[in-house]
Amino acid sequence: MEKVTAVGLDIAKQVFQVHGIEAGGGVVVRRKLRRGDVVGVFEALPSCLIGIEACATGPAFSCGWVMRFG
């Protein structure tokens, strides 16, 4: 499997959409995740750039991630 270099995360109340690409821009990961599964998926990925949807709950959601993953 190619190395994921960037991940986009579309956040919602219960189901999130994850879209990961490799250095050349090809899609490596495209999945729907339940809220409880998100952290486990990101823990399994190599270090990469993560973009989170900008919305009202985005700052609170991403702040928790920064504290957990650095």
Specify which residues 29 forms β-bridges with.
Answer: 20
Instruction: Break the chain into its structural domains and give their ranges.
Output: 6-69
Q: What pLDDT shows up at residue 7?
A: 93
Greater pLDDT, 69 or 19:
19
The DSSP H or E segment spanning 39 is helix 38-44
Confidence of residue 62 (pLDDT cuts 50, 70, 90): low
Per-residue pLDDT tens digits for 1-47: 578 999 998 888 788 999 999 999 999 989 999 988 988 888 888 88
